[in-house]
Amino acid sequence: MKRIPSSEALKRKYPEWIVLVVTMDQQGQVDVMPAGWCMVTSGRPLMFAVSVHPHRHTHTLLREAGEFVIAFPAVGQGPAVWYCGSHSGRDVDKIAHTDLELLPAAEIKTPLIKGAVANFECRLVQQMDTGDHTIFVGEVVAAHIEEEASGRLLNFGDFRYAMAEIVSGTLYEAQ
């Protein structure tokens, strides 16, 4: 085993799942931020956590709105993911500059991403500062799937995306 700087070893975490964190300001302007640092933190009730740097526009919106949507982008949404990750919602309307379409949510004001593999409506229940990021934990209050979606995006680092096939049915169990 070779010892190396942790920043070098961290590159080996790829590929990773990518999500879109959807937030909305008090004037109704929607922002979408791609994130790799997202995870399920509870099954009952279902909760998601996402880690966001304090300088990000999304960080401010999460604190102000107290709600958000976690959307799993579908394969064809790669260009929109790239655009949203390379522009700030402080400066541009990301929805207007991409082919992302919005749908009304069932339980919260923040909209869903049409065509995403899945959308989870979340109400913020906790936040915690951790080093240079804040972890936002949201309880899922409604969930939606796109039945026509065939795959979702994986991040291979440096804005390289590839499809991960959606698998359903019986899982193989070792004997």
Residue 125 CB partners (closer than 8 Å, separation 6+): 47, 137, 138, 139
Average pLDDT estimate for 63-76:
95
Residue 158, pLDDT score? 64
Residue 78 lies in a domain: yes
**Domain range for residue 30?**
6-165
Question: How far apart are the C-alpha atoms of 19 and 119, rounded to whole Å?
Answer: 10
Residue 145 lies in a domain: yes
Place of tokens 């964190």: 21
Residue 171 lies in a domain: no
Residue 151, pLDDT score? 81
Residue 175 lies in a domain: no
Contact (Cβ atoms closer than 8 angstroms) between residue 110 and residue 24: yes
Average pLDDT estimate for 18-40:
95
| CATH number reported for the structural domain that contains residue 44 in this entry | 2.30.110.10
pLDDT tens digits, one per residue of 128-174 = 999 999 999 999 999 999 998 878 877 777 655 554 444 444 444 55
pLDDT tens digits, one per residue of 102-130 = 999 999 999 999 999 999 999 999 999 99
Residue 12 DSSP class = G
Total of domains in the chain: 1
